[in-house]
Amino acid sequence: MTALAYAVKLLAGRDKSELALRTALEKKSYPSPEIDEAITRVKALGYLNEARFAEAKIKEALRLNRTPLDIRNRLERAGLRADLITTILDRELALTGFNPLTAARALLQKKKITGAKAARFLAARGFDEEIIRTLLPSIED
């Protein structure tokens, strides 16, 4: 199977970032020039579209009450450009009316955790100290 055929097969299942697609092709030991050609071709065909990928990931992350910081970090690790992330994230935040306090409260209710464990959980997901102290005022420094 050629790198192009394999790339098309991978993208038929779901959108991927260019970095994820490149990594998958490298794992199959395709030569770099063939990988480059395959990526160029799937972009031209519209099969690889990082804006579409980012939009889907951002919508899903907001639905799961992830913070903008957490979303940004995840998408940057996926290899997406900061300007693309910012544009789409800002648009989706405005459309959804994302409220970090509401999101944090929903996460805590879903996880059914309290106290220091809840504070660590929220901090690890990018919620700022003000939100954490609002929801968990009894937590000590």
If one counts the domains in the chain, the total is: 3
pTM beyond 0.85, yes or no: no
Would residue 125 count as lying in a domain? Answer: yes
Q: Tens digits of per-residue pLDDT, 56-114?
A: 999 999 999 999 999 999 999 999 999 999 999 999 999 999 999 999 999 999 999 88
Would residue 54 count as lying in a domain? Answer: yes
pLDDT band per the 50, 70, 90 thresholds, residue 37:
very high
Would residue 87 count as lying in a domain? Answer: yes
Neighbours of 48 (CB within 10 A): 24
Range of the domain at 19: 3-44
Q: Provide the pLDDT for residue 139.
A: 67
Residues 90 and 106 in one domain: no
Q: Are the beta carbons of 67 and 103 closer than 8 angstroms?
A: yes
pLDDT band per the 50, 70, 90 thresholds, residue 137:
confident
Would residue 141 count as lying in a domain? Answer: no
Residues 59 and 81 in one domain: yes
pLDDT band per the 50, 70, 90 thresholds, residue 13:
confident
Q: Which residues contact 6 (CB under 8 A, 6 or more apart)?
A: 24, 25, 28, 30, 38
Stronger pLDDT, 40 or 125, i.e. the higher one: 40
Q: Are the beta carbons of 17 and 50 closer than 8 angstroms?
A: yes
Residues 56 and 86 in one domain: yes
Q: Quick one: which of 95, 103, 78 has its CA closest to 17? A: 78
* pLDDT of residue 28 exceeding 80: yes
